Amino acid sequence: MLVVDEPSLCRLFNRFLTRAGYEVVEVANREQALETLHAQGRSIDLVILHLWGSRPCEKAVLEFIRQVMADLPLLLLTGGEFYDQPLPGVPFLTTPFDLQLLLDCVELLLA
């Protein structure tokens, strides 16, 4: 599941991952992410979450995944200065990054 609220970035990541052979469930915001996780959580193999600061809904998605779906792989994408305290054991990429690095992380997390 791809949770990126910047439409241009979301399209880019979705297109790249789809071309690499992945089925991508795209949600526009954290509220939809929570709804999707509640509705089809066990069919989701990985969550890629784009963080911008510590907004309450971002925290809600992280809390839900860590408490209810602790075995669900998570990859954080961050703008650097907006999220400077990574979670222990959770991989993250700081934008800008090479798309191949995104693919490498996805492959590693799904292996």
Give the 3-state secondary structure percentages of the chain, helix then strand then coil, rounded to 5. 45, 15, 40
CB 43 within 8 A of CB 1: no
DSSP 50: E
CB 6 within 8 A of CB 50: yes
Per-residue model confidence as pLDDT tens digits over 23-75: 999 988 878 888 898 888 788 999 998 876 555 556 677 777 778 788 889 89
pTM: 0.85
Q: How many residues does the chain have?
A: 111
Per-residue model confidence as pLDDT tens digits over 42-56: 889 999 988 765 555
